[in-house]
Structure 1
Amino acid sequence: MDVHNKATRSKNMRAIGTRDTAIEKRLALLLEPPGFTFTVQDASLPGRPDFVIADYRCVIFTHGCFWHHHDCYLFKVPATRTQFWLEKIGKNVERDKRDVIRLREQGWRVLIVWECALRGREKLSDSALSERLEEWICGGGDAAQIDTQGIHPLCVIS
C-alpha cells in the first residue's frame, strides 16, 4: 500500500528532475579540471546524452540505478504496483539499449556512469572516478560503464 494518495504521489513523481541532477552536477565537476570541453543534454543525438565530448567523439550518460535497473544495492523492486514499475523500468532499459546501438552506428563512443558510482555508501572517490573517466575518454574503447566496481565493457546486443 502506498503511503501517499494518488494526487500526492503524482505530484512527487513530477518533481523528479531530468536535468541538472546531483549526479550530473558531480560528474560535470569531475570533467572540468582535466580540461574536457562538453555540451549537455544534446537533443539531436539518440537518448539525449547528459554529456557530449565532441573532441573525443564520445557521449556520457548518468543513469539512476532505479530508473535504469542497475543490479546494485540502490535498485529495489517497488512493493506497490510492482508490475507497473517493472514494465516502466523495462521500457527504459530497452530504450537505453536502442539508444546505445544508434549512437554506436553513428560513430559515437558511449559511457554510462551509474548513480551508485557517484553517490551512496559504496561510491567511488573523486580521484578514482576522475581516473576512470580520463582513462576511458582519452584511451578509447567503444562502450563502457562505470559502477562501484570500476570500469567495465558495456555489452549491448541488438
Structure 2
Amino acid sequence: MADIVSPKTRSRMMAGIKSGNTKPEIVIRSGLHKKGFRFRLHDRKLPGKPDLVFPRHGAVIFVNGCFWHGHDCHLFKWPKTREDFWKNKISSNKARDITNIATIKNAGWRVAVVWECALKGKARLELDSVIDLCSFWLRNGANELEVRGNESGASI
C-alpha cells in the first residue's frame, strides 16, 4: 500500500516527532509535581535517560509511546511501507528498553513504565487514576509498576 503523503511531507512529519518533553510525559510530571513529588528530567547518567528520576524514592519513570516501543495495544500498528526498516527499528527499541531497564534495576533503582495507551485512545484510564497509581507506587516501595490502557489493565 502506498503512503498517502509525499516522501518530502512524510520526512518533515517524522522529523517533527520529539523524543522528550512529549505531551504524555508532561501530563504525568505535572500531575506528580502537583502531588508534591520533585524529580529530575532525562538524567543522562542513567541508561535510557528516564523521563522522570526520583532520587529520594530511588525510582525512575519511563513514559513510553506505544508505537515507538512496540507496545501490544490498540495504538500500535505495524507500518505498511518499509516494513523491514520498521521491524528492525522497533525491535531494536524494544531490546534496548529491556537492557536499559535491567541495568537500572541492577543499579538499585525501582522502575515504572507508563504507556501512552493509559493516557489516550479508547482504552485510556482516568488521568487522576494514573497519577494516583504512580504516586502510590513511589511511596510504597514496590520494585516495578506498569500502567497500561484498560484493555490490558494496570499492574503493580
Task: State the TM-score bracket (shorter-chain normalisation).
Answer: over 0.9
Q: By how many angstroms is 1:84 displaced?
A: 1.3
Identity percentage of aligned residues: 38
Q: By how many angstroms is 1:106 displaced?
A: 0.7
Distance between the aligned counterparts of 1:107 and 1:95, measured in 2? 19
Distance between the aligned counterparts of 2:43 and 2:120, measured in 1? 24
Ranges in structure 2 where 5+ consecutive residues have no aligned partner: none
Partner of 2:98: 97
Partner of 2:134: 133
Q: By how many angstroms is 1:123 displaced?
A: 1.3
Distance between the aligned counterparts of 2:127 and 2:96, measured in 1? 30
Q: By how many angstroms is 1:121 displaced?
A: 2.4
TM-score (norm 2): 0.92
1:113-141 Cα shifts (integer Å, max 9, x gaps)? 00000122221112211221112111122
Partner of 1:148: 149
Equivalent residue letter for 1:100 = I
Matched, 1:34 2:35: yes
Distance between the aligned counterparts of 1:47 and 1:130, measured in 2? 22
Structure-to-structure mapping, 1:1-20, within 5 angstroms? 1-20=2-21
Note the aligned Cα RMSD (angstroms). 1.3
**Secondary structure of the corresponding residue to residue 113 of structure 1:** strand
Partner of 1:156: none
Ranges in structure 1 where 5+ consecutive residues have no aligned partner: 154-158
**Secondary structure of the corresponding residue to residue 34 of structure 2:** coil
Deviates more, 1:1-10 or 1:17-26: 1-10
TM-score (norm 1): 0.91
